[in-house]
Amino acid sequence: MKFSELFHTIQGEGQLIGVPSVFFRTSYCNLRCVWCDTPYTSWHPEDRDITVAESVAAITQYRCKHVVITGGEPFIQTQALIELCRELDAQGHHITIETNATRFAKVDAHLISMSPKLRNSNPSADDRFFNRHERGRIRPDVIRKFLDAYPCQVKFVVDTPEDLAEIRALQTDIRIPAETILLMPQGTTPTALEQKQRWLVDLCKENGYRYSPRVHVDIWGDKRGV
């Protein structure tokens, strides 16, 4: 399978924030978010090969229970993802898969961390990826399938308070439970996050959502492999 990096750190976002975890980052994505914080997996994907057996060996060397498979978009490489999860599950790992929720497959996972992309993710209208991104960024059927089949969290990357209307509409249309929704500020520096976190916390309080900081950004900034 194609991947870009593998490292041992703490989970910086979501329900398992602070938990020591091994991150396995796949390469390639079917979307092109304008603010993508891992462009080396999407806009300019790295093309490194690794087998499932090599992946399992590299992950298990850390003797860490929690594994996060992220991207890019892991579900693009469906068969390899299924095999990797099966092997890791057999060895007793807790598996989180981070996905943009545009592809569905049955996998051995313990938490599906969905991040459906709001309009704020769109490239500029004159970008060659705009139409493809806009058409594909929200798949209500896929989101519903994950919610019905797995423990889930639904993380929305929020750029401005105006994003709330789109989130509420999606919550209603797809029947997303409020307790699974997390709002996370868009930004790759501590300063950018700090400018948004106070009003974002207020939105969470008003709507019964959960706030997710980005601890890895607070600690290391916009740095790879952490």
Instruction: Provide the whole-model pTM.
Output: 0.97
Specify the pLDDT at position 97: 99
- Tell me, what's the pLDDT at 106? 98
Kindly report the average pLDDT of the chain as a whole number. Answer: 97
At 15 the pLDDT is 96
Per-residue pLDDT, 14: 97
| Amino acid 126: pLDDT | 96
The whole-number pLDDT of residue 160 equals: 98
Q: Residue written as tokens 């990797």?
A: 84
Where residue 124 falls among pLDDT bands split at 50, 70, 90?
Answer: very high
Question: Contacts by 78-86 with C-beta closer than 8 Å and gap 24+?
Answer: 78/103, 78/105, 80/1, 80/52, 81/1, 81/26, 81/105, 81/107, 82/106, 82/107, 82/108, 83/52, 84/1, 84/24, 84/52, 84/55, 84/56, 85/109
The stretch 147-165 carries a mean pLDDT of 98
User: How confident is the model over 75-118, as pLDDT tens digits?
Assistant: 999 999 999 999 999 999 999 999 999 999 999 999 999 999 99
Separation CA 34–CA 185 (nearest Å): 15
* Positive/negative CA dihedral, 168, 170, 173, 175: negative
Structure tokens at 53: 């057996």
pLDDT band of residue 38 (cuts 50, 70, 90) is: very high
| Tens digit of each residue's pLDDT (9 = 90 or more) over 167-186 | 999 999 999 999 999 999 99
What's the average model confidence in pLDDT over 36-57? Answer: 96
CB atoms inside a 10 Å sphere around CB 91: 11
Whole-angstrom distance, CA of residue 68 vs CA of residue 66? 7
pLDDT at 177: 98
Query: What is the pLDDT, as a whole number, of residue 101?
Result: 98
Least confident of 121-125, 149-153, 209-213, 222-226: 222-226
Predicted pLDDT at 164? 98
Q: How many of the other CB atoms lie within 10 Å of CB of 124?
A: 8
Quick one: fold of 2-220? TIM Barrel (3.20.20)
Report CA-CA distances (Å) from 21 to 12, 67, 136, 175, 207: 10, 5, 30, 30, 30
